[in-house]
Structure 1
Amino acid sequence: MAWRKKSGGDQSSACPSNYDAGEGEKVPRGHVPMVTCCGERVLVPVRLLAAPCIVELLDMAGQTYGYSQPGVLRITCDAGHFRRVVDGALERAG
């Protein structure tokens, strides 16, 4: 999994500042790009999209931003929380 800061936008202290990537960067096969509320770009393996914890976060994002978001999916939680959720889902998926 790759954690990257989206270029531009406002940054909060909850977001690490040592990840940098261009928006034109190609997404590896089998991954979905997502952006946390503080602008951190995350590449999530497609196989995790069915994990209940990820489904709940996607549903919360849909309720907040709408279900037809243009561009990269936005997640409503900060980067640290999202990292813990995704890492836990990865462990359970084995």
Structure 2
Amino acid sequence: MAAFLLGQVNIKNQELWQQYVEGVGESLAPYEAKVLLRGQWHKQLAGSSQFEQSVVIEFSSTEQLEHWYNSPTYQSLVPLRDRAAEVNISSYSN
């Protein structure tokens, strides 16, 4: 069953954010994950949102998603992420 990570983002420091994004790309490789969407907020159609950008990443399973998230490689990026942006991360499965 596929699993999806949804990240909602407000960037505080563009240079640090770019470093983080590059690190995430490298960290995803062993998990065969695919970035399906990385985009700028356009228009709120219903409800409300406080975030300017979103990312959706597909994994083969919730186990793979959680292995990636808890991996030493990704966890080493968390301090950089937290300096670079305000981020909300959720996981979903279908």
- Taking structure 2 as the reference length, the TM-score comes to 0.31
Q: Which has the higher helix share?
A: 2
Relative contact order (alpha carbons < 8 A, sep ≥ 6): 1 or 2 greater?
A: 2
Q: Which has the greater radius of gyration? A: 2
